[in-house]
Protein backbone atom coordinates (compact mmCIF):
# COMPACT_ATOMS: atom_id res chain seq x y z
CA UNK A 1 0.00 0.00 0.00
CA UNK A 2 1.25 3.40 -0.92
CA UNK A 3 2.53 5.97 1.55
CA UNK A 4 -0.45 8.18 0.64
CA UNK A 5 -2.90 5.54 1.92
CA UNK A 6 -0.92 5.05 5.12
CA UNK A 7 -0.75 8.79 5.75
CA UNK A 8 -4.46 9.27 5.08
CA UNK A 9 -5.34 6.40 7.42
CA UNK A 10 -3.12 7.91 10.10
CA UNK A 11 -4.69 11.36 9.73
CA UNK A 12 -8.19 9.91 10.04
CA UNK A 13 -7.31 7.95 13.17
CA UNK A 14 -5.55 10.88 14.85
CA UNK A 15 -8.50 13.12 14.07
CA UNK A 16 -10.90 10.69 15.68
CA UNK A 17 -8.80 10.43 18.83
CA UNK A 18 -8.40 14.17 19.36
CA UNK A 19 -11.79 15.37 18.12
CA UNK A 20 -14.36 12.57 17.86
CA UNK A 21 -17.25 14.94 17.21
CA UNK A 22 -15.51 16.69 14.29
CA UNK A 23 -12.98 14.37 12.63
CA UNK A 24 -10.22 15.96 10.57
CA UNK A 25 -10.74 15.56 6.87
CA UNK A 26 -8.07 13.50 5.04
CA UNK A 27 -5.63 15.44 2.86
CA UNK A 28 -7.27 13.99 -0.24
CA UNK A 29 -9.91 11.46 -1.13
CA UNK A 30 -8.75 7.98 -2.02
CA UNK A 31 -9.56 6.85 -5.53
CA UNK A 32 -11.14 3.47 -6.20
CA UNK A 33 -12.47 1.82 -9.33
CA UNK A 34 -16.06 0.61 -9.65
CA UNK A 35 -17.71 -1.77 -12.10
CA UNK A 36 -21.49 -1.64 -11.50
CA UNK A 37 -22.09 -4.64 -13.76
CA UNK A 38 -25.46 -5.91 -14.98
CA UNK A 39 -28.99 -6.15 -13.60
CA UNK A 40 -29.46 -4.09 -10.44
CA UNK A 41 -25.71 -3.41 -10.27
CA UNK A 42 -26.08 0.24 -11.31
CA UNK A 43 -28.74 0.85 -8.64
CA UNK A 44 -26.62 -0.82 -5.96
CA UNK A 45 -23.58 1.25 -6.96
CA UNK A 46 -25.70 4.40 -6.86
CA UNK A 47 -26.81 3.51 -3.33
CA UNK A 48 -23.18 3.15 -2.26
CA UNK A 49 -22.27 6.50 -3.79
CA UNK A 50 -25.31 8.08 -2.11
CA UNK A 51 -24.13 6.84 1.27
CA UNK A 52 -20.51 7.87 0.63
CA UNK A 53 -21.67 11.39 -0.22
CA UNK A 54 -24.11 11.74 2.68
CA UNK A 55 -21.73 10.57 5.42
CA UNK A 56 -18.58 12.09 3.86
CA UNK A 57 -16.48 8.95 3.42
CA UNK A 58 -13.21 10.12 1.80
CA UNK A 59 -13.28 8.03 -1.38
CA UNK A 60 -14.09 8.86 -5.00
CA UNK A 61 -15.12 6.34 -7.66
CA UNK A 62 -13.98 6.02 -11.24
CA UNK A 63 -16.59 3.98 -13.07
CA UNK A 64 -15.63 1.47 -15.77
CA UNK A 65 -18.33 0.02 -18.02
CA UNK A 66 -18.09 -3.77 -18.11
CA UNK A 67 -21.12 -5.93 -18.95
CA UNK A 68 -21.66 -9.59 -19.59
CA UNK A 69 -24.69 -8.70 -21.69
CA UNK A 70 -23.13 -5.88 -23.73
CA UNK A 71 -19.65 -7.28 -24.10
CA UNK A 72 -18.86 -5.45 -27.33
CA UNK A 73 -19.40 -2.12 -25.56
CA UNK A 74 -17.42 -3.14 -22.48
CA UNK A 75 -14.01 -1.77 -21.65
CA UNK A 76 -11.03 -3.74 -22.93
CA UNK A 77 -9.02 -5.72 -20.42
CA UNK A 78 -6.00 -3.41 -20.79
CA UNK A 79 -8.28 -0.43 -20.03
CA UNK A 80 -9.61 -2.17 -16.93
CA UNK A 81 -6.06 -2.80 -15.72
CA UNK A 82 -5.12 0.83 -16.36
CA UNK A 83 -8.17 2.05 -14.42
CA UNK A 84 -7.33 -0.23 -11.51
CA UNK A 85 -3.74 1.02 -11.38
CA UNK A 86 -4.97 4.63 -11.37
CA UNK A 87 -7.21 3.80 -8.42
CA UNK A 88 -5.07 2.02 -5.82
CA UNK A 89 -5.60 -1.41 -7.48
CA UNK A 90 -9.00 -1.63 -5.77
CA UNK A 91 -12.43 -2.18 -7.31
CA UNK A 92 -16.01 -2.34 -6.03
CA UNK A 93 -17.70 -4.69 -8.47
CA UNK A 94 -21.27 -5.67 -9.24
CA UNK A 95 -22.40 -8.89 -10.89
CA UNK A 96 -21.64 -9.57 -14.54
CA UNK A 97 -24.35 -11.71 -16.08
CA UNK A 98 -23.02 -14.60 -18.14
CA UNK A 99 -24.83 -15.77 -21.26
CA UNK A 100 -26.01 -19.38 -21.21
CA UNK A 101 -25.87 -19.71 -25.01
CA UNK A 102 -22.46 -18.93 -26.44
CA UNK A 103 -21.86 -16.75 -29.45
CA UNK A 104 -19.67 -18.04 -32.30
CA UNK A 105 -16.48 -19.50 -30.78
CA UNK A 106 -16.96 -17.98 -27.30
CA UNK A 107 -16.26 -20.43 -24.48
CA UNK A 108 -14.56 -18.33 -21.80
CA UNK A 109 -17.04 -16.02 -20.09
CA UNK A 110 -16.21 -12.43 -19.18
CA UNK A 111 -16.06 -13.19 -15.44
CA UNK A 112 -13.54 -15.96 -16.00
CA UNK A 113 -11.42 -13.86 -18.35
CA UNK A 114 -11.21 -11.09 -15.78
CA UNK A 115 -10.20 -13.50 -13.02
CA UNK A 116 -7.49 -15.04 -15.16
CA UNK A 117 -6.07 -11.93 -16.78
CA UNK A 118 -6.15 -9.96 -13.52
CA UNK A 119 -4.90 -13.03 -11.60
CA UNK A 120 -7.69 -12.88 -9.01
CA UNK A 121 -6.76 -16.30 -7.70
CA UNK A 122 -8.61 -16.40 -4.36
CA UNK A 123 -12.29 -15.79 -3.61
CA UNK A 124 -13.11 -15.29 0.08
CA UNK A 125 -16.63 -15.37 1.56
CA UNK A 126 -17.33 -14.88 5.28
CA UNK A 127 -20.57 -16.58 6.31
CA UNK A 128 -21.91 -15.04 9.53
CA UNK A 129 -25.34 -14.53 11.08
CA UNK A 130 -26.75 -11.02 11.36
CA UNK A 131 -29.11 -10.13 14.17
CA UNK A 132 -32.47 -9.18 12.71
CA UNK A 133 -32.43 -11.74 9.88
CA UNK A 134 -34.48 -14.82 10.68
CA UNK A 135 -32.87 -18.08 9.57
CA UNK A 136 -34.11 -21.66 9.54
CA UNK A 137 -31.26 -23.03 11.64
CA UNK A 138 -31.21 -20.46 14.41
CA UNK A 139 -27.56 -21.40 14.97
CA UNK A 140 -24.56 -19.14 15.30
CA UNK A 141 -22.60 -19.45 12.05
CA UNK A 142 -19.15 -17.97 11.52
CA UNK A 143 -17.05 -19.65 8.85
CA UNK A 144 -14.93 -18.81 5.81
CA UNK A 145 -15.13 -20.30 2.31
CA UNK A 146 -11.94 -19.89 0.26
CA UNK A 147 -12.10 -20.93 -3.37
CA UNK A 148 -9.44 -21.26 -6.06
CA UNK A 149 -10.66 -18.80 -8.65
CA UNK A 150 -8.80 -19.36 -11.93
CA UNK A 151 -8.94 -23.00 -13.05
CA UNK A 152 -10.78 -26.29 -12.40
CA UNK A 153 -14.01 -26.87 -14.32
CA UNK A 154 -14.04 -23.18 -15.23
CA UNK A 155 -11.02 -23.60 -17.51
CA UNK A 156 -13.45 -23.51 -20.47
CA UNK A 157 -11.57 -26.16 -22.44
CA UNK A 158 -14.39 -27.96 -24.23
CA UNK A 159 -14.90 -29.55 -27.61
CA UNK A 160 -17.39 -31.73 -29.42
CA UNK A 161 -15.54 -34.91 -30.43
CA UNK A 162 -18.36 -36.17 -32.62
CA UNK A 163 -21.89 -34.80 -32.92
CA UNK A 164 -23.64 -35.25 -29.58
CA UNK A 165 -20.45 -36.04 -27.61
CA UNK A 166 -18.82 -33.16 -25.70
CA UNK A 167 -15.63 -33.39 -23.67
CA UNK A 168 -14.97 -30.83 -20.90
CA UNK A 169 -11.54 -30.69 -19.31
CA UNK A 170 -10.94 -29.81 -15.67
CA UNK A 171 -7.49 -28.28 -15.19
CA UNK A 172 -5.67 -28.62 -11.86
CA UNK A 173 -2.08 -27.41 -11.49
CA UNK A 174 0.21 -27.84 -8.50
CA UNK A 175 1.49 -24.22 -8.46
CA UNK A 176 -2.03 -22.78 -8.32
CA UNK A 177 -3.13 -25.31 -5.70
CA UNK A 178 -0.06 -24.52 -3.58
CA UNK A 179 -0.83 -20.82 -3.88
CA UNK A 180 -4.47 -21.14 -2.75
CA UNK A 181 -3.45 -23.56 0.01
CA UNK A 182 -0.85 -21.15 1.38
CA UNK A 183 -3.34 -18.31 1.13
CA UNK A 184 -5.94 -20.31 3.09
CA UNK A 185 -3.55 -21.32 5.87
CA UNK A 186 -2.16 -17.78 6.12
CA UNK A 187 -5.72 -16.45 6.31
CA UNK A 188 -6.54 -18.91 9.10
CA UNK A 189 -3.44 -17.89 11.06
CA UNK A 190 -4.02 -14.16 10.58
CA UNK A 191 -7.64 -14.38 11.75
CA UNK A 192 -6.95 -16.74 14.67
CA UNK A 193 -8.85 -19.69 13.18
CA UNK A 194 -8.07 -23.19 14.40
CA UNK A 195 -9.28 -25.59 11.70
CA UNK A 196 -9.08 -25.84 7.92
CA UNK A 197 -11.25 -28.21 5.90
CA UNK A 198 -10.25 -29.39 2.41
CA UNK A 199 -13.34 -29.98 0.24
CA UNK A 200 -12.77 -32.37 -2.68
CA UNK A 201 -14.05 -35.29 -4.75
CA UNK A 202 -10.83 -37.31 -4.81
CA UNK A 203 -12.71 -40.58 -4.34
CA UNK A 204 -13.92 -40.22 -7.96
CA UNK A 205 -11.53 -37.72 -9.59
CA UNK A 206 -8.48 -39.45 -8.22
CA UNK A 207 -5.90 -37.51 -10.23
CA UNK A 208 -7.40 -33.99 -10.43
CA UNK A 209 -8.95 -33.69 -6.98
CA UNK A 210 -6.38 -36.14 -5.65
CA UNK A 211 -3.69 -33.59 -6.56
CA UNK A 212 -5.66 -30.84 -4.81
CA UNK A 213 -6.10 -32.93 -1.64
CA UNK A 214 -2.48 -34.11 -1.44
CA UNK A 215 -1.06 -30.65 -2.20
CA UNK A 216 -3.09 -28.93 0.53
CA UNK A 217 -2.27 -31.70 3.00
CA UNK A 218 1.42 -31.25 2.20
CA UNK A 219 1.11 -27.51 2.81
CA UNK A 220 -0.55 -28.26 6.17
CA UNK A 221 2.76 -29.63 7.45
CA UNK A 222 4.05 -26.03 7.54
CA UNK A 223 1.15 -24.94 9.79
CA UNK A 224 1.11 -27.29 12.81
CA UNK A 225 -1.16 -24.94 14.80
CA UNK A 226 -3.98 -25.37 12.26
CA UNK A 227 -5.90 -28.65 12.38
CA UNK A 228 -6.32 -29.84 8.79
CA UNK A 229 -9.23 -32.11 7.84
CA UNK A 230 -10.85 -33.23 4.59
CA UNK A 231 -14.41 -33.92 3.43
CA UNK A 232 -15.96 -35.07 0.15
CA UNK A 233 -17.97 -32.30 -1.49
CA UNK A 234 -21.34 -34.10 -1.58
CA UNK A 235 -21.08 -34.86 2.14
CA UNK A 236 -20.05 -31.24 2.71
CA UNK A 237 -23.29 -30.04 1.08
CA UNK A 238 -25.35 -32.33 3.33
CA UNK A 239 -23.42 -31.26 6.43
CA UNK A 240 -23.82 -27.58 5.52
CA UNK A 241 -27.60 -27.76 5.44
CA UNK A 242 -27.83 -29.97 8.53
CA UNK A 243 -24.96 -28.89 10.81
CA UNK A 244 -23.34 -25.73 9.35
CA UNK A 245 -22.04 -24.59 12.73
CA UNK A 246 -19.24 -27.20 12.55
CA UNK A 247 -17.24 -25.34 9.87
CA UNK A 248 -14.36 -22.89 10.38
CA UNK A 249 -12.14 -22.24 7.32
CA UNK A 250 -12.79 -24.21 4.14
CA UNK A 251 -10.64 -24.38 1.00
CA UNK A 252 -11.72 -25.97 -2.26
CA UNK A 253 -11.49 -25.97 -6.08
CA UNK A 254 -13.42 -23.50 -8.19
CA UNK A 255 -16.77 -25.17 -8.91
CA UNK A 256 -17.29 -26.54 -5.40
CA UNK A 257 -16.63 -23.10 -4.00
CA UNK A 258 -19.20 -21.50 -6.27
CA UNK A 259 -21.86 -23.99 -5.21
CA UNK A 260 -21.07 -23.85 -1.49
CA UNK A 261 -20.85 -20.03 -1.52
CA UNK A 262 -24.43 -19.83 -2.72
CA UNK A 263 -25.66 -22.61 -0.46
CA UNK A 264 -24.10 -21.00 2.62
CA UNK A 265 -25.36 -17.55 1.65
CA UNK A 266 -28.88 -18.95 1.67
CA UNK A 267 -28.39 -20.08 5.27
CA UNK A 268 -27.85 -16.54 6.58
CA UNK A 269 -30.28 -14.43 4.58
CA UNK A 270 -29.73 -14.83 0.86
CA UNK A 271 -27.97 -13.20 -2.06
CA UNK A 272 -28.44 -9.63 -0.85
CA UNK A 273 -26.64 -9.79 2.48
CA UNK A 274 -23.25 -11.55 2.16
CA UNK A 275 -20.15 -9.75 0.79
CA UNK A 276 -17.08 -11.35 -0.76
CA UNK A 277 -13.65 -10.46 -2.10
CA UNK A 278 -11.65 -11.72 -5.07
CA UNK A 279 -7.98 -11.29 -4.23
CA UNK A 280 -5.04 -11.38 -6.61
CA UNK A 281 -1.33 -10.78 -6.78
CA UNK A 282 -1.88 -7.13 -7.76
CA UNK A 283 -5.59 -6.29 -7.65
CA UNK A 284 -8.48 -6.84 -5.24
CA UNK A 285 -12.21 -6.77 -6.02
CA UNK A 286 -14.90 -6.29 -3.37
CA UNK A 287 -18.28 -7.69 -4.37
CA UNK A 288 -21.30 -9.72 -3.27
CA UNK A 289 -20.91 -13.43 -2.58
CA UNK A 290 -23.77 -14.57 -4.80
CA UNK A 291 -23.38 -13.81 -8.48
CA UNK A 292 -27.01 -13.06 -9.36
CA UNK A 293 -27.69 -9.96 -11.48
CA UNK A 294 -31.37 -9.88 -10.34
CA UNK A 295 -32.60 -8.61 -13.71
CA UNK A 296 -36.27 -8.81 -12.64
CA UNK A 297 -35.68 -6.02 -10.09
CA UNK A 298 -33.99 -3.69 -12.57
CA UNK A 299 -35.31 -0.14 -12.21
CA UNK A 300 -37.74 -1.04 -9.42
CA UNK A 301 -35.67 0.24 -6.47
CA UNK A 302 -36.23 -2.70 -4.13
CA UNK A 303 -33.01 -4.75 -4.33
CA UNK A 304 -31.24 -5.41 -1.04
CA UNK A 305 -27.92 -3.52 -1.03
CA UNK A 306 -26.63 -4.91 2.28
CA UNK A 307 -23.96 -7.06 0.61
CA UNK A 308 -22.60 -4.13 -1.39
CA UNK A 309 -22.56 -1.84 1.65
CA UNK A 310 -20.68 -4.47 3.66
CA UNK A 311 -18.34 -5.03 0.70
CA UNK A 312 -17.70 -1.27 0.80
CA UNK A 313 -16.89 -1.53 4.52
CA UNK A 314 -14.39 -4.30 3.76
CA UNK A 315 -12.88 -2.12 1.04
CA UNK A 316 -12.49 0.74 3.52
CA UNK A 317 -10.65 -1.63 5.88
CA UNK A 318 -8.32 -2.55 3.01
CA UNK A 319 -7.68 1.15 2.33
CA UNK A 320 -6.79 1.70 6.01
CA UNK A 321 -9.89 3.85 6.54
CA UNK A 322 -10.66 1.64 9.50
CA UNK A 323 -12.84 4.05 11.48
CA UNK A 324 -15.11 4.61 8.49
CA UNK A 325 -15.27 0.85 7.89
CA UNK A 326 -16.28 0.14 11.49
CA UNK A 327 -18.88 2.92 11.44
CA UNK A 328 -20.42 1.67 8.19
CA UNK A 329 -20.51 -1.94 9.30
CA UNK A 330 -22.09 -0.93 12.61
CA UNK A 331 -24.68 1.22 10.82
CA UNK A 332 -25.71 -1.63 8.50
CA UNK A 333 -25.93 -4.09 11.39
CA UNK A 334 -28.05 -1.69 13.46
CA UNK A 335 -30.42 -1.09 10.53
CA UNK A 336 -30.85 -4.83 10.02
CA UNK A 337 -31.24 -5.53 13.73
CA UNK A 338 -33.98 -2.95 14.39
CA UNK A 339 -36.11 -4.39 11.52
CA UNK A 340 -37.86 -1.06 10.91
CA UNK A 341 -36.63 -0.57 7.34
CA UNK A 342 -36.45 -3.79 5.34
CA UNK A 343 -36.30 -4.67 1.67
CA UNK A 344 -38.64 -7.30 0.23
CA UNK A 345 -36.27 -10.22 0.52
CA UNK A 346 -36.12 -9.61 4.28
CA UNK A 347 -39.89 -9.43 4.70
CA UNK A 348 -40.37 -5.67 4.32
CA UNK A 349 -41.67 -3.22 1.73
CA UNK A 350 -38.99 -0.53 1.78
CA UNK A 351 -36.95 0.59 -1.18
CA UNK A 352 -33.21 0.36 -1.71
CA UNK A 353 -33.00 4.12 -1.27
CA UNK A 354 -34.95 4.09 2.01
CA UNK A 355 -32.69 1.39 3.39
CA UNK A 356 -29.63 3.42 2.37
CA UNK A 357 -30.89 6.57 4.09
CA UNK A 358 -31.61 4.57 7.25
CA UNK A 359 -28.01 3.30 7.23
CA UNK A 360 -26.87 6.92 6.84
CA UNK A 361 -28.92 7.84 9.93
CA UNK A 362 -27.05 5.22 11.96
CA UNK A 363 -23.58 6.13 10.65
CA UNK A 364 -21.51 7.70 13.43
CA UNK A 365 -17.73 7.93 13.68
Please name each of the domains of the chain with its CATH number.
1-11+27-98+106-128+271-365 (3.40.718.10), 136-267 (3.40.718.10)
Lowest mean pLDDT of 136-140, 168-172, 253-257, 310-314, name the range: 136-140
At 181-220, the pLDDT tens digits run 999 999 999 999 999 999 999 999 999 999 999 999 999 9
In DSSP terms, which residues pair with 127 in a beta bridge?
Answer: 143
Give the pLDDT score at 10. Answer: 42
Give the pLDDT score at 153. Answer: 87
Contact between residue 29 and residue 53 where contact means Cβ atoms under 8 Å apart: no
* Per-residue pLDDT band at 351 (split at 50, 70, 90): very high
Look at residues 30, 26, 32 and name the one whose alpha carbon lies nearest to residue 365: 26
At 285-305, the pLDDT tens digits run 999 998 776 766 677 787 899
Amino acid sequence: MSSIIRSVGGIVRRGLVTAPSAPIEPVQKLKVCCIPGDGVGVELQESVELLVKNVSIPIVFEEVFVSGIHQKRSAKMEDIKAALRRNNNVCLKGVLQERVNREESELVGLNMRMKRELDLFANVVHIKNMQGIQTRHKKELDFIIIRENTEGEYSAIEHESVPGVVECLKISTRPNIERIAKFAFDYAMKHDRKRLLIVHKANIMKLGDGLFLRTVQKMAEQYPKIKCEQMIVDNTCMQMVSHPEQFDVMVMPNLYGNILDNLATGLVGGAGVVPAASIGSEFIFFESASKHAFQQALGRNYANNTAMLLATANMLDHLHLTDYAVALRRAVQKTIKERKVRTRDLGGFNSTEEFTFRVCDHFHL
